[in-house]
């Protein structure tokens, strides 16, 4: 709809009357109704998804989750210092600068103000539940037969663990699937990261 010129920016989606939606090419009556209901149901989206959807450069889905878990509220993220941002796992100088500058731009502040005006604001994370894998950090590399990487990440987080996108000094486990490059395994060996094959990983999840 932004590309079609029906709205000027994403926040305006929440103000579209039904007849405007009908005017967009390829939207049938049923699709229009479903779209209206879907938009109305997402006025308080999960904080990680909202952060990711802002389109901040260098902020992917995993970084958005890490930022949400650290700052708990979008307002807290928006007022964070560079030092606070860099203290988040996986956020280095480049990513921290990108986040800081995004929230510092007047245009982006105006967009956030418009979301608030329309009563659209992400849910606050009140508490990150502990679980049997709390304090443990995992990286999944290669292809798993039993599940995709996103599902594996969900299972890890659901048990209190942390899913990382790359191996670091603080990584506890490297889950090794099929078709893994030798360089990743060599890095894990160098850092002393414990490696789990898929069966060992599934056993760990089942036991936890």
Identify the band that residue 126 occupies on the pLDDT scale cut at 50, 70 and 90. Answer: confident
Query: What gap in Å lies between CA 81 and CA 100, rounded to an integer?
Result: 7
From the options 3.10.580.10, 1.10.150.20, 3.40.50.410, 2.30.42.10, give the CATH code of 47-117. Answer: 1.10.150.20
Distance CA 70, CA 76 (A): 9
**Do the strands 173-176 and 137-141 form a parallel or antiparallel pair, or are they unpaired?**
parallel
* Class of domain 137-207 (CATH, top level): alpha beta
Q: What pLDDT was estimated at residue 27?
A: 57
* Banded pLDDT at 123 (limits 50, 70, 90): very high
Q: Sheet containing 137-141: give its strands across.
A: 162-164, 137-141, 173-176, 194-197
Report the range out of 7-16, 35-44, 61-70, 126-135 with the highest average pLDDT: 61-70
92-107 tens-digit pLDDT: 999 999 999 999 999 9
Confidence band of 41 (pLDDT split at 50, 70, 90)? confident
The pLDDT value given to residue 135: 87
Rg (CA), the chain: 20
- pLDDT of 24 higher than 60: no
Report whether 128 contacts 103 (CB < 8 A).
no
- pTM summary value: 0.69
pLDDT band of 114, cuts 50, 70, 90: very high
Stretch 169-194: mean pLDDT: 92
The three-state secondary structure class of 162 is strand
Q: Where are the domains of the chain?
A: 10-40, 47-117, 137-207
Higher pLDDT, 187 or 129: 187
Distance CA 98, CA 88 (A): 14
pLDDT band, residue 173 (cuts 50/70/90):
very high
């Amino acid at each position: 709809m932004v590309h079609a010129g029906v709205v000027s920016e994403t926040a305006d989606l929440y103000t579209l009357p039904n007849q405007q939606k009908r005017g967009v090419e390829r939207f049938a009556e049923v699709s229009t109704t479903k779209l209206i209901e879907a938009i109305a149901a997402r006025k308080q989206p999960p904080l990680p998804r909202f952060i990711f959807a802002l389109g901040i450069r260098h902020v992917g889905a995993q970084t958005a989750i890490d930022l949400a878990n650290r700052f708990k509220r979008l307002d807290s993220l928006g007022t964070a210092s560079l030092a606070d941002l860099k203290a988040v796992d996986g956020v280095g100088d480049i990513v921290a600068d990108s986040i800081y500058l995004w929230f510092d731009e007047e245009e982006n502040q105006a967009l956030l103000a418009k979301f608030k005006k329309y009563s659209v604001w992400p849910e606050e994370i009140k508490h990150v539940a502990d679980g049997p894998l709390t304090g443990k950090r995992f990286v999944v590399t290669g292809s798993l037969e039993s599940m995709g990487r996103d599902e594996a990440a969900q299972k890890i987080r659901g048990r209190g663990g942390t899913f990382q996108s790359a191996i670091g000094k603080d990584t506890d486990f490297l889950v090794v699937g099929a078709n893994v490059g030798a360089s990743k395994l060599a890095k894990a060996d160098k850092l002393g990261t414990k490696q789990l094959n898929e069966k060992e990983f599934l056993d760990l999840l089942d036991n936890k």
